[in-house]
Amino acid sequence: MNIPVLILTKDESSQNLLKLFIEENKSFNFLASTDDFEKAFLAVSELKNSVLIIDISENEDFAIDFIKKTVEKNPECKVIALTENYSAETVIKAMREGAAEILRLPLIKEKFLKTLEDIKNAFDGKKVKSDKCKTISVFSNKGGVGKTSIAMNLALELAKNTKENVALVDLNFQLGDVTTFWDLKPTYNLSYMLKNTDTLNKDFLLNTLDKYKDTSLYILADPPYFKQAGFVSESDVENLFKVLKTSFSYIIVDTTSGFGMKTMKALSLSEMVLLLTTMDIPALRNCQRCLELFDSEDFEDDKVKILVNRFMETDDIKIEDVEKLLRKKVFWKIPNNYFTMMSANNLGVPAAEVNKESNVARSFKDLSILISDSIYKQNF
């Protein structure tokens, strides 16, 4: 297959450089470069599979709108956005509106070539597993702050956006939070798997485990009130993660409140810990204590990310106050949306299924884009 590539930028030197890079991959064929949006749009509309490389550094909003319009009309076109203003906000906006990838200018050749290769695999229908599996735990020492809601919706959005295999591990055991939320009856119980990690392998995991609807999200949980199959130790958790890492690109862990040994093991094995808080003094105090404990456990400062849940603009406490108190930046905030979250619980479905345009569903999606993108770029 020879995939035509169109370049849309004003900058002649980057047109030339891109052309040279494209010629290095025989699956792609440089078609034309232009600085005219209309022409590019018409050209893409004439093609079946194609790649459009677009510089969005100038007139970012206009360029991102153009990406949206192009991808909506031509779902077979993969867009690579380039920008000098590489920020979380820009990355999320571009990817949310349909860019397949966004790369920083000046362009790094290896990253560009890797992106082309990923796009080729996507056209071939090949699933690519990220080189490394990333484990992300959602934690708070307080109940009811949204750990389960966030772990589940984030895991699902990661699966939908990356199409890679995502494992959601519910460490609540007998309480079966995850299975209750989405009304699931897992064929294999997590505690059984934890006691038999030596018999687990890739085939078993990917062929036998239940997928959530027709996504690439796999759920590892116990049903509620399940009598646990024997005592689960820290090393069982460690072994399970080791096996999961061979088959999954992401492991998302829903934890219980408290610093139990299994939870601490999961946190210490995670590449990222999303530490949840709400914007009230008791939750923030709690969060402060968690940070102190993580510090004494020698967790890398950067691995722990503050996530504010149930955020409201009108709160008395402001984000700046939180950052001052915790002496740490807030990584992400999820808006309070009682109506959507309550309907999701009552219907036993994810937030996006209640209303994918709701602020809370968009926030889960954007968080997943940020996390998958920063992983890809090895930013954390």
Ligand X SMILES: Nc1ncnc2c1ncn2[C@@H]1O[C@H](COP(=O)(O)OP(=O)(O)O)[C@@H](O)[C@H]1O
- Residues forming the site for Mg ion (CB under 5 A): 147-148, 177
Taking the complex as a whole, the smallest distance from the CB of residue 242 to ligand X amounts, in Å, to 26
Q: In this complex, which beta carbon is closest to ligand X, that of residue 9 or of residue 277?
A: 277
Residue 143 in the binding site for ligand X (CB under 6 A): yes
Q: In this complex, which beta carbon is closest to Mg ion, that of residue 147 or of residue 195?
A: 147
Residue 345 in the binding site for ligand X (CB under 6 A): yes
Q: Which does 179 bind (CB under 5 to 8 A by kind): Mg ion, ligand X, none?
A: none
- Binders of ligand X: how many residues, by CB under 6 A? 18
Distance in angstroms (rounded) separating the CA atoms of residues 378 and 256: 28
Distance in angstroms (rounded) separating the CA atoms of residues 155 and 152: 5
Taking the complex as a whole, the smallest distance from the CB of residue 160 to Mg ion amounts, in Å, to 22
Distance in angstroms (rounded) separating the CA atoms of residues 273 and 230: 28
Neighbours of 224 (CB within 10 A): 14
User: Interface residues for ligand X in 168-187 (CB under 6 A)?
Assistant: 177
Residue 338 in the binding site for ligand X (CB under 6 A): yes
CA angle 79, 83, 89 (to 5 degrees): 90
Interface residue with ligand X, options 309, 358, 368, 372 (CB under 6 A): 309
Taking the complex as a whole, the smallest distance from the CB of residue 174 to ligand X amounts, in Å, to 15
Distance in angstroms (rounded) separating the CA atoms of residues 158 and 292: 30
Residue 137 in the binding site for ligand X (CB under 6 A): no
Q: In this complex, which beta carbon is closest to Mg ion, that of residue 147 or of residue 365?
A: 147
Among the residue ranges 18-26, 99-107, 336-344, 369-377, the one whose residues contact ligand X (CB under 6 A): 336-344
What does the DSSP 8-state code read for residue 302?
Answer: G
Which neighbouring-strand residues pair with 308?
A: 277, 333
Q: In this complex, which beta carbon is closest to ligand X, that of residue 161 or of residue 336?
A: 336
Interface residue with ligand X, options 93, 120, 134, 147 (CB under 6 A): 147
Q: Which does 50 bind (CB under 5 to 8 A by kind): ligand X, Mg ion, none?
A: none
Helices (H), the chain: 12-23, 37-46, 60-73, 88-96, 109-123, 147-162, 177-182, 190-195, 202-208, 234-247, 261-269, 281-296, 319-326, 338-347, 351-354, 359-376
Among the residue ranges 31-39, 77-85, 138-146, 186-194, the one whose residues contact ligand X (CB under 6 A): 138-146
Taking the complex as a whole, the smallest distance from the CB of residue 190 to ligand X amounts, in Å, to 16
Position closest to Mg ion via CB: 148
Taking the complex as a whole, the smallest distance from the CB of residue 359 to ligand X amounts, in Å, to 9
Nearest Cα to 354, choosing from 336, 365, 339?
Answer: 339
Which amino acid is it at 320?
Answer: E
Backbone phi and psi for residue 28, each to the nearest 5 degrees, phi listed first = -115, 155
Distance in angstroms (rounded) separating the CA atoms of residues 183 and 186: 10
Residue 148 in the binding site for ligand X (CB under 6 A): yes
Q: In this complex, which beta carbon is closest to ligand X, that of residue 74 or of residue 140?
A: 140
Residue-by-residue DSSP string for 171-221: TTGGG-HHHHHHT---SS-HHHHHHTGGG--HHHHHHHSPBSTTSSEEEE-
Residues near ligand X (CB under 6 A) are 140, 143-149, 177, 309-310, 334, 336-338, 341, 345, 360
